[in-house]
Amino acid sequence: MPRSSNPSAAKGGPVTLTQVARRAGVSAQTVSNAINSPDMLRPETLERVRRAIDEMGYRPSRAAQTLRTRSSRLIGYGIQPALSSSPVLDRFLHALSQAADEAGYRILLFASPSGGPALDGYEELLGQHEVDGFVLSGTERGDPRQAWLTKRGVPFVGFGRMWSGRQIGDWVDVDGASGTDAAVEHLVARGHRKIAFLGWERGVSGAGDDRAEGWQRAMRRHGLSTRGRRGQSVNDTDAARMAVKPLLDAGATAVIAASDMLALGCYQMLRERGALPGRDVSVVGFDDSPAAELLSPTLTSLAQPLEEVGRECVRLLLDRIASPDAPPERLLLEPSLVVRDSTAAAPHGAAR
Amino acid sequence: MPRSSNPSAAKGGPVTLTQVARRAGVSAQTVSNAINSPDMLRPETLERVRRAIDEMGYRPSRAAQTLRTRSSRLIGYGIQPALSSSPVLDRFLHALSQAADEAGYRILLFASPSGGPALDGYEELLGQHEVDGFVLSGTERGDPRQAWLTKRGVPFVGFGRMWSGRQIGDWVDVDGASGTDAAVEHLVARGHRKIAFLGWERGVSGAGDDRAEGWQRAMRRHGLSTRGRRGQSVNDTDAARMAVKPLLDAGATAVIAASDMLALGCYQMLRERGALPGRDVSVVGFDDSPAAELLSPTLTSLAQPLEEVGRECVRLLLDRIASPDAPPERLLLEPSLVVRDSTAAAPHGAAR
DNA sequence: TCTCAGCATTCGAACGTTCCAAAGACATTA
DNA sequence: TAATGTCTTTGGAACGTTCGAATGCTGAGA
């Protein structure tokens, strides 16, 4: 017999444990056991209970479970207004939500006001015992949240490491340096030697410095000079356009940008000079934003493994909830280079 | 005495209603009343109870409230992978979350699989009585969710109207036609006559057809011809680049695009022809995505009032929860034209 | 036959809140 | 004084689940 489509709406309120128990001819506790520790039951009884559950379309009430077990199976996430306008956050949120679902948890959103993360929202969710833990993102320099949560013994995981001071708590992050390093490898393999880096100003963004660092170390490893090959700009196509100019003037045959937005600025300057990205100068972006695929020529970019980040955030958080005193766990994941049309072999004669 | 910073962590479990009652020298019920219907208490008693609540840092347990009142004060939102890659959704989510917070509700996320909205997630949340209602977005032609939810009597509000068949349930939407109409007005006031529209293919997107419609009616109102002024493209800068070419060849001095992405394609084609957006040809985008401000020249674009949409979604949903049988309410909000550098007076001599 | 495990199941209580009905306090009126 | 009414407060039960301890059942060993 197929499960009836919506028994609970048919009459009265929702189906309860006790009703299922009556139907299966067992006690309520046994039905509970059938769900939570099935191997405690005699196979025959289990089968009978399961049939009753199925026929009646029973679903345990989350509220009652939460009340009794003191665990809501909810993860709090403070959503910030997209000040950084990172194309990453909403994809991350989907990945996070999916990973949580698979673990039997859900994401509970609350609005974090703009202008620095306030702690009020966290306090309120905790006070009402609504969540079992938090996932933080958009962590800034001197972010107070980690210390605050640690002090109260609240489980949390950050997406993003601490960029200043000592590390606190668990986190998952993407290894930006390793990404730009791989981009250099990719370009070197295609004959490029004069590889420039276009990033943000030094010191304002930990992630930005990290990405520059990877480029630098890979260049050094190949014995290539980085002098005069590093440009700085704010995250704005026009500023990027200007910042990339001296790099091109110095003969760079490839540019690695710290974001797709910056890469777009490179595109504009190249167009102005009558040069074609890919054919004349190779360009690599960072984040693999939706635009990367839509630009023409399509943009080679470093994709953050957001699904994996989401999965690992959930895993680390659940581990932390299970054992609050275990040593902190930190995970650095590799971005992957998505090669598209904006990178190709170095123009002949420019190789050295 | 200031409220102690974290009483519940100090010792034992969280503070309960009964503990507060004991301290204030009243019954538990009275404390409950102090919170839910304060004017039932004698002012003197109320004051005493309030002090106790404050001193002990009491917060009601959401789980117990939910169990007793059968209302979780949670709103479900099925988050979809950003297939449309609309820059709108994460800003909407923040607005929604904020509006919900202000009404004492919260947003509960669940992952909706890609490739069409499946109903499983909705079923599961309902079965466990986790949410009081849903907010839908990314509604497509023939979306089954509205009918399904209506059949089970579940409150919901859509962000986006039904584009095919008859309207079902409450919704809030942005009046795209009114937006493009306003864009035409803006351009006409600056002397433009040959105003083209670059949209998506007819019939694939209700919102797209709507935006075209507004352009068309405004043109007609001003006695301007639309023949040969409408271009079609998929949402891709390269396709847009090609699609806008014949429009420019036909002498258009302004282009209204159905999305910022399409507008970016216009920029590219203009650059190729040595023309400058704003000075030579005016361009208007749609959605006011973060990129609009970062392009150079900055892009005039139609901004959706997302904060208002979020607020109204919550309001309509709560109304629906309060009175399930009230007639449906539908709201069409106006986008606002954000004027930047890509629109200016028509070049002299091209005015007619 | 009796005792002792081991297993499967059940019983009673508890989680923290709100609903409902009833009790108490107090002033007003007959 | 007793009856009536209004305003404030209280007691007991219930929401649906899981915890901990206790029960009944079965067969092995003495």
Tell me the per-residue pLDDT of B65-99, one tens digit each, with 9 for 90 and over: 999 999 999 999 998 876 555 677 888 999 999 99
Spatial contact of A95 and B104, defined as CB atoms under 8 Å apart: no
Instruction: Give me A56's structure tokens.
Output: 């009646």
A67 CB below 7 A from strand C atoms: yes
Q: List, edge to edge, every strand of the sheet that includes A156-159.
A: A330-333, A170-174, A156-159, A133-136, A74-79, A106-111, B106-111, B74-79, B133-137, B156-159, B170-174, B330-333
Provide the pLDDT for residue B5.
40
CB of B262 within 7 Å of some strand C atom? no
Are the Cβ atoms of A90 and B97 closer than 8 angstroms? no
Query: Rounded mean pLDDT of A170-184?
Result: 98
Say whether both B147 and B79 belong to one domain: yes
Q: Residue A106's beta-bridge partner residues? A: A74
Question: Is strand C within 7 Å of residue A42 (CB)?
Answer: yes
**Predicted confidence (pLDDT) at residue A82 exceeds the cutoff of 70:** no
> Per the structure, how many domains does chain B have?
3
Beta strands at B170-174 and B336-338: parallel, antiparallel or unpaired = unpaired
- The answer to whether strand C lies under 7 Å from the CB of residue A45 is yes
B261-300 pLDDT tens trace? 899 899 989 988 989 999 999 999 999 987 788 777 889 9
Specify whether A168 is located in the same domain as A206.
Answer: no
CB B164 within 8 Å of CB B144 = no
Q: What is residue B41's predicted lDDT score, i.e. its pLDDT?
A: 93
Instruction: Report the percent of chain A where pLDDT is more than 90.
Output: 73
The per-residue pLDDT for range B128-175, each reduced to its tens digit, is 778 999 999 988 777 889 999 999 999 999 999 998 889 999 999 999
Is a pLDDT exceeding 70 seen at residue A83? no
Contacts of A13 in chain B (CB under 8 A): 70
| Cα dihedral A79, A80, A82, A86 sign | negative
Amino acid at B57: G
Residue B1's pLDDT is 34
Count of helix runs (H) and strand runs (E) in chain A: 14, 12
Looking at the predicted structure, is the pLDDT value of residue B8 above 60? no
Give pLDDT tens digits for B99-136: 999 999 999 999 876 655 578 888 888 877 789 999 99
Of B262, B287, B304, the last residue of a domain is: B304
User: Residue B201: what pLDDT?
Assistant: 93
Given this model, what pLDDT does residue A197 score?
98
For testing the chain B interface, which of A109, A124, A341, A342 should be mutated: the one with the most B CBs within 10 Å? A109
Query: What is residue A33's predicted lDDT score, i.e. its pLDDT?
Result: 96
Which residues lie across from A232 on neighbouring strands?
A199
B251 and B273 in a common domain = yes
In a domain, A348, yes or no: no
CB atoms within 10 A of CB A287: 25
Query: Does a structural domain hold residue A340?
Result: no
Give me the CA B265–C1' D13 separation in Å, rounded: 69
- Å separating the CA of residue A89 from the C1' of nucleotide D15: 39
Residue B239 C-alpha, separation from nearest chain A C-alpha, in angstroms: 9
Residue B344 within any structural domain of the chain: no
Rounded to 10 degrees, the C-alpha dihedral B307/B312/B313/B316 comes to 170
Residue A2 falls inside a structural domain: no
CB B204 within 7 Å, strand C: no
pLDDT at A213: 98
pLDDT digit string (tens) for A293-316? 777 788 999 999 999 999 999 999
Residues 33-52 of B with CB under 7 A from strand C: 35-36
Q: Is B18 found in the same domain as B122?
A: no
Q: What is the mean pLDDT of residues B305-321?
A: 97
Q: Do B130 and A60 touch (CB under 8 A)?
A: no
Tell me the count of A-B CB pairs closer than 8 A: 156
Q: Is residue B107 part of a domain?
A: yes
Regarding whether B233 and B190 lie in a shared domain, the answer is yes
Tell me: do B166 and B115 sit in the same domain.
Answer: yes
Half-sphere exposure of A244 (CA within 13 A, CB side): 35
Q: Is the CB of B17 under 7 A from strand C?
A: yes
The three-point CA angle A15-A21-A26 to 5° equals: 175
- Asked if B197 and B299 sit in the same domain, the reply is yes
Is A169 in the same domain as A256?
A: no
Check residue B7 and give its pLDDT.
42
CB contact under 8 Å between B128 and A97, yes or no, is no
Strands (DSSP E) along chain B, which ranges?
A: 74-79, 106-111, 133-137, 156-159, 170-174, 195-199, 230-232, 254-257, 282-286, 300-303, 330-333, 336-338
Contact A109 B110 (CB under 8 A): no
> In terms of pLDDT, which residue wins out, B118 or A100?
A100
Each residue of B26-62: pLDDT tens digit?
A: 999 999 999 999 999 999 999 999 999 999 999 999 9
CB-based contacts of B219, cutoff 8 Å, min separation 6? B184, B195, B225, B226, B229
A100 and A144 part of one domain: yes
Confidence of residue A88 (pLDDT cuts 50, 70, 90): confident
In a domain, A121, yes or no: yes
Determine the pLDDT at residue A84.
54
Give the nucleotide at minimum CA-to-C1' distance from B37.
C18
What does the alpha-carbon distance between residue A286 and residue A263 come to, in Å, rounded to a whole number?
A: 8
Do A215 and A262 lie in one domain? The reply is yes
Question: Do the domain assignments include residue B82?
Answer: yes
The reply to whether A223 falls in a domain is yes
Q: Are B252 and B282 in contact (CB under 8 A)?
A: no
Q: What is the CATH number of the domain that holds A12?
A: 1.10.260.40
> A40 CA to C4 C1', in Å?
22
Q: Is the dihedral of CA A19, A25, A28, A34 positive or negative?
A: negative
What is the spatial distance between Cα A192 and Cα A65, in angstroms, rounded to a whole number?
Answer: 61
B127 & B84 share domain: yes
Chain D bases near protein CB atoms (7 A cut-off) = 7-12, 14-20
- Quick check: A67 and B61 in contact, CB under 8 A? yes
Give yes or no: residues B245 and B191 share one domain. Answer: yes
CB < 8 Å to B90, chain A: 82, 89-90, 93
Domain span at residue A40 reads 7-60
Nucleotide nearest to A67 (CA to C1'): C15
Say which CATH number the domain at A114 has.
3.40.50.2300
B62/A130 touch (CB, cutoff 8 Å), yes or no = yes
B192-233: per-residue pLDDT in tens?
A: 999 999 999 998 889 999 999 999 999 999 999 999 999 999
Which residues in chain B are closer than 8 Å to A296, comparing Cβ atoms?
237-238, 241, 268
Measure the CA–CA gap between A94 and A107, rounded to whole angstroms: 10
Cβ–Cβ gap B82/A90 under 8 Å: yes
Q: By CA distance, what is B293's nearest residue in A? A: A236
Kindly write down the DSSP assignment for every residue of B214-277, as one continuous string: HHHHHHHHTT---TT-EEE--SSHHHHHHHHHHHHHTT-SEEEESSHHHHHHHHHHHHHTT--B
Burial environment of residue A276 by CB neighbours within 10 A (0 to 12, 13 to 18, 19 or more)? middle
Sequence-distant (6+) residues with CB within 8 A of A177 are A210, A211, A213, A214, A217
- 8 Å CB contact of A296 and B238: yes
C10 C1' to B203 CA distance, Å: 64
Kind of pairing between the strands at B170-174 and B195-199: unpaired
- Cβ contact, residue pair A110, B91, below 8 Å: no
